[in-house]
Amino acid sequence: MKILINSKISQEHVEKIISGFPAVEVVQTENPQEAEKFVRDADVLITWWSNFQVAFLDSPRLRWVHALSAGVDGFLLPSILEGKVLLTNSRGIHGIPISEHVFALMLAFSRGLNHFARHQAQKKWQRVTLTELRGKTLGIVGMGSIGSEIARLGAAFGMRVMAVKRSPGPAPEGVNRVVGTEGMEMVLKESDYLVLAVPLTPETRGMIGAAQLEQMKPTAVLINIARGEVVQEEQLVAALQQGVIAGAGLDVFETEPLPADSPLWQLENCIITPHCAALSPQYMTRAIDLFCRNLDAFLQGEPMPTLVDPGRGY
């Protein structure tokens, strides 16, 4: 079996795969064009969605693509949708860094750090109104591994946690109430902080628009660490400019990098981070560990831990 890794990866991580599976051959390149040549005789491809090329799926030997990301919207092409090539993702490894990023954004708003950063640049000594997270309502849309970790931290901060889940069941750790999508309006109306943690699917694309933003409290803050297309960006800009909601912490955008002429850059009630919420020195170690679990299951003919259902998109 030949495995092609189309990503920057340390030799230590390559050796981890080889030592665990001595019979496999591992080839690595960061260059997508070079990878297009190597993939012709590869059985398995490990790659980022940003490196993924449609032509990779023309390989007659390719049996499985492993996404180094959790989101797989960029991989859902005919060969995968038809089940000719298996797709696994790296869900489950993002909870720690992304949940900490979410709380960094929430704390920045509650403790005025977005204002103080600007004041510091202007050498201006000026206080602003500050609040606390304790006692506030945290709404989480999407309760996968990331949403669950955000909920756990929310409970630790003394927040009331509500969650929207496609298939609601018993409330997981730290969650006061779980509702289905029919309960979305209630969560929008009651949340002081609304966190979007859903995969991008036809159902979630554009799910937050003018109508949803108008249902939120004027003091509420929207946090998006899902995908930019989950939010109708033009409507969000208008809501922030008009004070429909108090603020937004955004790590993802409809177009990335965020264009220089986007009005979001100029809004004082918007904190922008460059799609980096998942970044961590531990990321690749966790990703390769997860890939090895999938590889072991694949070779044993057992269910793969993070096999994607192409029909659902996650």
Task: List, run by run, the mean pLDDT of 10-residue segments along the chain (314 residues).
Answer: 97 97 97 94 96 94 97 94 97 97 98 97 98 98 95 98 92 91 97 97 96 98 98 98 98 98 98 97 97 98 97 90
70-90 pLDDT per residue, tens: 999 999 999 999 999 999 999
Are 23 and 110 in the same domain? no
Are 263 and 187 in the same domain? yes
Are 74 and 195 in the same domain? no
Structure confidence at residue 212 (pLDDT): 98
Q: Which of 119, 275, 286, 293 is catalytic?
A: 275
Q: Give CA 142 to chain center in angstroms.
A: 11
Q: Which of 115, 160, 227, 233 is catalytic?
A: 227
Are 123 and 234 in the same domain? yes
Count of domains in the chain? 2
Q: What is the pTM of this model?
A: 0.93
In a domain, 311, yes or no: no
In a domain, 145, yes or no: yes
285-297 pLDDT per residue, tens: 999 999 999 999 9
Structure confidence at residue 255 (pLDDT): 98
Residue 186: give the domain boundaries.
Answer: 95-272
Q: Which of 34, 256, 268, 312 is catalytic?
A: 256
To the query of whether residue 13 is one of the catalytic residues in this protein, the response is: no
Tokens of 203: 């159902």
* Cα dihedral across residues 259, 264, 268, 273: positive or negative: negative
To the query of whether residue 160 is one of the catalytic residues in this protein, the response is: no
Are 135 and 153 in the same domain? yes
To the query of whether residue 227 is one of the catalytic residues in this protein, the response is: yes
Are 254 and 284 in the same domain? no
Are 178 and 286 in the same domain? no
In a domain, 313, yes or no: no
In a domain, 164, yes or no: yes
Q: What CATH code is carried by the domain that includes residue 74? A: 3.40.50.720
Question: What is the β-pairing status of strands 270-272 and 247-250?
Answer: parallel
Structure confidence at residue 200 (pLDDT): 94
In a domain, 310, yes or no: no
Structure confidence at residue 172 (pLDDT): 83
Strand order in the sheet with 193-196: 177-179, 160-164, 137-141, 193-196, 221-224, 247-250, 270-272
